Amino acid sequence: MKLLVVTVLLGLLAVSVEGFRMPRQVEEEEQGPLTTFTNGIKSYYSDVVNTVHDYVDTIKGLKIEEKIKNLYTETSTIVSTYSGIFQDQLYHVFYAQQ
């Protein structure tokens, strides 16, 4: 019985190993000047895109949008308060005599 189980397991292992093949490594062909230039441009472009992406992620991490919204809310509250006080003062300057 053990021999049958071992034989079945070895058979499954052999089938699995046969299905798992390593891809061949293609030998790199000698690159011409145009290919070298194009690859350099592509590499430079990907580096720039990655750098900008990192900067955007850093800026999002600082939560600048939230800080700007809070600053706007606080500023508008302060300005409306002081403009109300200023309107009251002007009203009393011009209409307090009557």
Q: Looking at residue 5, what is its pLDDT?
A: 78
Within-domain flag for 23:
no
pTM over 0.85: no
* 14 found inside a domain: no
Domain presence at residue 73: yes
Residue numbers in the chain where pLDDT is lower than 50: none
- 75 domain residue, yes or no: yes
The verdict on residue 68 lying in a domain is yes
Give the C-alpha separation, 15 to 21, whole Å: 11
Domain, as residue range, for 71:
63-98
- Rounded distance, CA 94 to CA 98, Å? 9
Our CA angle for 86, 88, 94, nearest 5°, is: 100
Q: In total, how many domains does the chain have?
A: 1
Structural domain includes residue 71: yes
Let me know if residue 72 belongs to a domain.
yes
